[in-house]
Amino acid sequence: MCSLLRGEEMCLAQLFLQSGSAYDCINELGELGLVEFRDLNPGVNAFQRKHVNEIKKCEEMERILGKDILIFNIHMCYHHNYYCSYVHYHWVYVCVCSQEQLQRLEVELGEVTRNKEKLQRNLLELTEYTHMLRTTRNFVQRTSEVSYEEFPFLEKDTLMDYSSMQRLGAKLGFISGLIQRTKIEAFERMLWRVCKGYTILSYAEVEEYLEDPDTGEPTKSVVFLISYWGDQIGQKVKKICDCYHCHLYPYPSSNEERTDVVEGLRTRIQDLHTVLHRTDDYLKQVLMKASESVYTWVIQVKKMKAIYFILNLCSFDVTNKCLIAEVWCPVNDIPTLRRALEEGSRKSGATVPSFVNRIPTNDTPPTLIRTNKFTSGFQNIVDAYGVGNYREVNPAPFTIITFPFLFAVMFGDLGHGVIMALFALWMVLYENNRKLKNTRNEIWNTFFEGRYIILMMGLFSIYTGLIYNDCFSKSLNIFGSGWSVKAMFEAKVWKDADIRGNRVLTLDPNVTGVFRGPYPLGIDPIWNLASNRLTFLNSYKMKMSVILGVIHMSFGVILSTYNYLHFRKKHSLYLVFLPELLFLLCLFGYLVFMIFYKWLVFTAKDSRLAPSILIHFINMFLMQGDGVQPLYPGQTGLQVFLVVIAVLSVPVLLLGKPVYLYWLHNGSHRLGMYRGYERVRRNSEEELYLMRAHDMEEGSSHSDLSTSGERQTEEFDFADEFLHQAIHTIEYCLGCVSNTASYLRLWALSLAHAQLSEVLWTMVMRVGLRMDTSLGVFFLVPVFGLFAVLTVSILLVMEGLSAFLHALRLHWVEFQNKFYSGTGVKFCPFSFSLLPSSFEHDGLL
Amino acid sequence: MPSLLFCGPKMAACGIVISIWGVIMLAMLGIFFSAKSAVLIEDVPFTEEDIRKDTNPPQNIYSLYNQVGINCFIAAGIYVAVGAVSLCQVRLNKRQEYMVT
């Protein structure tokens, strides 16, 4: 109960887990996300923990799975059949993952892929060879008409040619192969320089693109044929070919040989194509089978790793048969925890059940505040300042109303509020749409998380827009204005000549009939036409800001009483809260009273004699009441009284609490024996321990005093306490003044928003509306589009963020300073749903 | 027939939003101009001449008000057309999305 106001009551519990059922019990706990485990082996580093081997195995499996998913994705891109059906991981246990299975899968996939690569390389070589044979045949046929005298080409009769070569004492040799097209010119030049004309190079380009086996890119190759004579030249040519990474193939010496080789190559190529096709099919089959379960396996491995990590945090008991874990658990969830442990024991088939035992502790538990989708946004913005201490008053439920209200005071425009509320309503209505929930755009996620905040801000802005009577900088005349211009004419104050002669005229509310009464809701629409509009509105908004500020701060001070009462610090109620409240109300509460007094008592008739509140306020401090006429009889006396009370409350605030605590701890030494007698009466240490625990839960030990000792006579450091209180006093008193002035930002931002809105209308929309040419209407269409875009970008986004920021600052500093400490630790339960998914980062899941 | 799609899904959605806003706001402006609201006096294109030379005051100003009001209604009508075009673009985009997957 009251979880949102204060946070859940937490307790420290000990889980006794049987070794056999430990894994299953922790599995159950992870599914439920109930408890936070404490580290019972803090001195041990990561490599010395008990289950380090299991964690290593889990990481190995994760690696294999990651690689497999990568291979799977690459292949499925080629064969886009089943790629898109895996959007969600499914929780059904298709097959239990084991490390051996994964390793087998990895080895198999590796083999198949390697074979495929080898075959592809083979295929490439054969294809190149075929190209080469085909092209060089063209060379031979082409150049057979031209025959050199010294080097007749080989024809059908090899023997004859051989002998004719021998006549010259040289052997004609051929080297043929393929080279990349980019290198052929350099190759040719190198050959010429080295062999100086003793070689002949002919080459031709291959039309098709061949795949380069190393890079996989299609490249153009050139078939070349080098004819040389002499052995030395031959070796030089071979070396040069090696340098240029040519693929060399044996050159057939005769045409029959050539045709034979070509035939053989063709069959081999066909065979290879068949084999590659079969390999592809097989690979696809293996991947298909694995893919059905690979996503489940990823989740299982993650869970396994998390469970082993938690098992590492536990310790063994004396008998070494049972695992002990210490957890922080909400008191209301202890029955659920018991049930989960029973479930885990049942699943593992253990004979002895695991159980939970609550233990008392002096440590401060972490803070747990349960929120739903509406309150979580507001709780987040409070937690961004600081997570509350254990069982401290949580400002979030109040923030739900005050934050949108203060935002709306600064934003106050009906039209803009409607647009903001509609935008937020769209987000809220479509909040279950997966596409909206799961985008990775950070900025969109921020807006989406705060959709309820934005909705509240928009609705409140509609209300303040009605009060300020401002809708896209124009006022709405719903009820009929309370001012009448005709009455000025009827009373003969103005004549027709006056209108022609004067630029501006003032409506006098003292003339009968001019001011017929206040506008029922908000600011009268006639002020939109007035040139002294800002003078009127500024005075009104400034006073409103101060009033709202003092109310907000007083509320903050009053909330601190909740803390004092809950933590049994009644002395703070009289020695801290009362002086604080008196100081604030005597000075600034009186200012608010004077504002209301002036509003109510002075009418349009006495407007000339109306005093300035500021002068009166300053005179109050200077104790000079004689210069100006008093607002009411007895004002001087009352003011002196209030100032004296405020000044007296400062030393009480400064000294009260330290002196009282000093007296409490040191003055009671004489009573110590009496207390000791009481202590002796309690014969068991355990009873005392439990009593302390009871006290702890009631919160009495939660104070700034050091209560870590076990005895009632704690160490009390007067100097420390006094310094702390002195800082608090100075901060509070000076803060009262500066924070009240700080609330004037409510006025400043609302003025800025109204003026920006007016400027936008005047500069953009008016230009479109004032077009009186016949085609002017078509100009209005783009002008309105521009107006809409600028409204959204400048007035909604920029001003909205600005007002959001300032409202947040007012909450964090001016409001929470008065009662909130925010130095707690957040409760992070062990839950599988909170595990980060590393695969999501790679975009694979 | 070449594809009628000329803007992406986000641009089409923006088009729809601005069109709806334009229709509502310009229609209301038109109504307020026709009701001769005093707050909108600065947006009416009148000159000194109109006021001085008015034989039957304030009919000149009133006719100007009506003119601006009609302008607003025409602009609202154009935005209805723009909205229809944007709606078509959104539908075409959705259809294309189905075809890819």
Sort out which chain A residues have CB atoms less than 8 A from B60's CB and list them. Answer: none
Contact partners, residue A266, CB within 8 Å, separation at least 6 = A130
Strand A210-211 and strand A10-18: pairing?
unpaired
Q: How confident is the model at residue A643 (pLDDT cuts 50, 70, 90)?
A: very high
Q: How confident is the model at residue A159 (pLDDT cuts 50, 70, 90)?
A: very low
Cα–Cα distance between A41 and A38 in angstroms, integer? 9
Q: How many CB atoms lie within 10 A of CB A844?
A: 17
Residue from A251, A211, A201, A187 nearest A125 by CA: A211
Strand A355-359 and strand A10-18: pairing?
antiparallel
Instruction: Give Cα A303 distance to the centre of its chain.
Output: 24
pLDDT value at residue A88: 26
The yes-or-no verdict on residue A790 having pLDDT over 80 is: yes
Q: Give the model confidence (pLDDT) of A522-553 as tens digits.
A: 999 999 999 999 999 999 999 999 999 999 99
Q: Where are the alpha helices (DSSP H) in A384-525?
A: 396-411, 414-429, 434-437, 442-449, 451-468, 486-490, 496-501
User: What is chain B's alpha carbon radius of gyration, rounded to the nearest angstrom?
Assistant: 20
pLDDT value at residue A626: 66
- Judged by CB atoms closer than 8 Å, whether chains meet at B43 and A771 is answered as no
Please identify which residue in the block is written with the tokens 């006096």. Answer: B41
The yes-or-no verdict on residue A312 having pLDDT over 60 is: yes
- Judged by CB atoms closer than 8 Å, whether chains meet at B75 and A784 is answered as yes
CA distances in angstroms from A382 to A124, A448, A588, A815, listed in the order given: 66, 18, 27, 11
Task: Compute the nearest-CA separation of B3 from chain A (Å).
Answer: 26
**SS3 call for A305:** helix
Question: Backbone phi, then psi, for A605, in 5-degree steps?
Answer: -70, -40
- Judged by CB atoms closer than 8 Å, whether chains meet at B22 and A788 is answered as yes
- Judged by CB atoms closer than 8 Å, whether chains meet at B21 and A419 is answered as yes
What interface predicted TM-score (ipTM) does this complex get?
0.94
Q: Which residue of B has its CA nearest to A470?
A: B39
The yes-or-no verdict on residue A843 having pLDDT over 50 is: no
Weakest mean pLDDT among A225-229, A448-452, A673-677: A673-677
Instruction: Give Cα B30 distance to the centre of its chain.
Output: 9
pTM assigned to the model: 0.77
- Judged by CB atoms closer than 8 Å, whether chains meet at B22 and A784 is answered as yes
Number of Cβ pairs closer than 8 Å across A and B?
58
**SS3 call for A231:** helix
The yes-or-no verdict on residue B94 having pLDDT over 60 is: yes
Sort out which chain A residues have CB atoms less than 8 A from B26's CB and list them. Answer: 780, 784
CA distances in angstroms from A176 to A134, A204, A223, A264, listed in the order given: 12, 12, 7, 18
- Judged by CB atoms closer than 8 Å, whether chains meet at A777 and B45 is answered as no
Please identify which residue in the block is written with the tokens 């600052």. Answer: A809
Cα–Cα distance between A544 and A551 in angstroms, integer? 11
Cα–Cα distance between A473 and A534 in angstroms, integer? 13
Q: Which residue of B has its CA nearest to A780?
A: B75
- Judged by CB atoms closer than 8 Å, whether chains meet at B39 and A770 is answered as no
- Judged by CB atoms closer than 8 Å, whether chains meet at A781 and B21 is answered as no
Query: Which of A85, A423, A769, A790 has the most B C-beta neighbours within 10 Å, making it the best mutation to test the interface with B?
Result: A769
Query: Which of B29, B43, B46, B94 has the most A C-beta neighbours within 10 Å, making it the best mutation to test the interface with A?
Result: B43
Task: Compute the nearest-CA separation of A294 from chain B (Å).
Answer: 23
Question: Backbone phi, then psi, for B54, in 5-degree steps?
Answer: -75, 115
Please identify which residue in the block is written with the tokens 């340098």. Answer: A243
The yes-or-no verdict on residue A835 having pLDDT over 80 is: no
Q: Residue A689 has which token pair?
A: 């321990």
pLDDT > 70 in chain A, percent = 85
pLDDT value at residue A627: 67
Q: Closest to B42 (Cβ–Cβ): which among A419, A766, A780?
A: A766
pLDDT > 90 in chain A, percent = 37
Q: How confident is the model at residue B2 (pLDDT cuts 50, 70, 90)?
A: low
Contact partners, residue A247, CB within 8 Å, separation at least 6 = A125, A128, A177, A178, A179
Task: Compute the nearest-CA separation of A444 from chain B (Å).
Answer: 14
Task: Compute the nearest-CA separation of B94 from chain A (Å).
Answer: 14
Q: Closest to B39 (Cβ–Cβ): which among A84, A529, A780?
A: A529
- Judged by CB atoms closer than 8 Å, whether chains meet at A769 and B71 is answered as yes
- Judged by CB atoms closer than 8 Å, whether chains meet at A777 and B71 is answered as yes
- Write down the mean pLDDT value for chain A: 83
The yes-or-no verdict on residue A87 having pLDDT over 60 is: no
Sort out which chain A residues have CB atoms less than 8 A from B41's CB and list them. Answer: 529
Name the region of A33 (left: φ>0; alpha: ψ -120 to 50; beta: rest): left
Contact partners, residue A654, CB within 8 Å, separation at least 6 = A725, A726, A729
